[in-house]
Structure 1
Amino acid sequence: MNPNGESTASAPWSTEAIRAGVEELVRLHEAGVLPPIVQLGHPVLRMAAADFTGQLEPGLLRAFLDTMRAVMLDAPGVGLAAPQLGIPLRIAVLQDLYESVPEVALAREREPLEYLETVNPRYWPVGDRTVAFYEGCLSFNGYQGVVERPADIDTTYRDAEGTTHERKFSGWQARIFQHETDHLDGTVYIDKAVTRSLCANHEYPRWAHPGIAAARSGLGF
């Protein structure tokens, strides 16, 4: 069940298959080749990823997280979930240290997010405040769409050492956490987007304003 209450199929992979898949990704990375990001239409993006329960031994988990981070930064992106590399485990990495125009950062409540590894992450809305902005996805190349999301969330996740954390996020940080955690439930942002807002990346500069009022007017949503 994902946060919208929609059921998704559980990942049918065996522990052996997961381990073999991760070992291949790590081998590529160690050989100097970054693994490709899975694109929309691949069934792994529509699976409910399995909770991490020790399917990878600590050294392999560390190597996998390092591979995920390298792929995320190379893309470039601000988050990457394990299913985006074809692995149905509840693992995601996040980081947003890119510079932003102050006016845009203010409107989008965009604060720097230091590198974060999340294992078995979950989130819950706090209050009724929602915010709608454009977002894109490394697994749906070439497009962006407006998604309305809770502006403030509570989260829980484990780190690579198994320590459980509870943390609140707001604004853009909350958006990133929700986007990546949704991947682990088989949900891609386009499932939640206002489809009439969808635009190709080369058209997005028309609507790259601090807010979405111009896009609402110009695209009629």
Structure 2
Amino acid sequence: MGLRDARKKLEKVLFFFIALGVVLPMMHQASLGTMLVVMGGQVNPLWQTPIQPLLYLLSAITLGYGVILFESCVAASAYRRQVEVPLLNPMATVMLGIIGIFLVARFADLVVRGVIGEAFQPTYIALTFWIENACLFAAFLLIRTTEARRNPARLFLAGIAVMLSGILLRLNGFLIAFDTGPGWSYFPSVPELLVTIGIFAAEVFGYIYITRRFPVLPREDAYAQPARS
């Protein structure tokens, strides 16, 4: 009875934690984009735009779907499970829609501000810009059809492409295209890199521990050991 009562009480306030889990990351990503706006002319025009908070928010949502595609395929292989294509297919469809909105907003903003020409300059900054967006175009082409979205390999590659694009968007804005002025430069210090790597490693360790310690992703015996004829 104690556990049942506790569960009922938890269900009454669960909506609050769900809402908090959605709102806080959205605020974080929008604020991250706002930081670039505040930096002004120190950021290359390709990434210095008033709609950067919106772009970062759309990118984060797209990243979420990309991570799910990637993680589901890797987990299925590691735990000898079938890839949950029926679940991933509609998610990938939604992701494509958000990618489309992002790309339209991204390039329309460049045209409206009159800085689209910066993308065609023979510079490494322009190159990273095209690589960043090419990853999204690649993801779109990989799973643009329903049949393609039923292919686990294509879902996996699309997830990787989306993650690379999201990573490059942030690296480009805050590092590659960030010019602090003559005589000044910035690159993450060793302690900063170690903290980032440590946080990532802790998250991976936590995921592995939870999925092995608790029945989150149990092995499918029928899939792991096909029936003999």
TM-score by length of 2: 0.26
Considering fraction of residues, name the structure with more strand: 1
Considering fraction of residues, name the structure with more helix: 2
Structure showing greater radius of gyration is 2
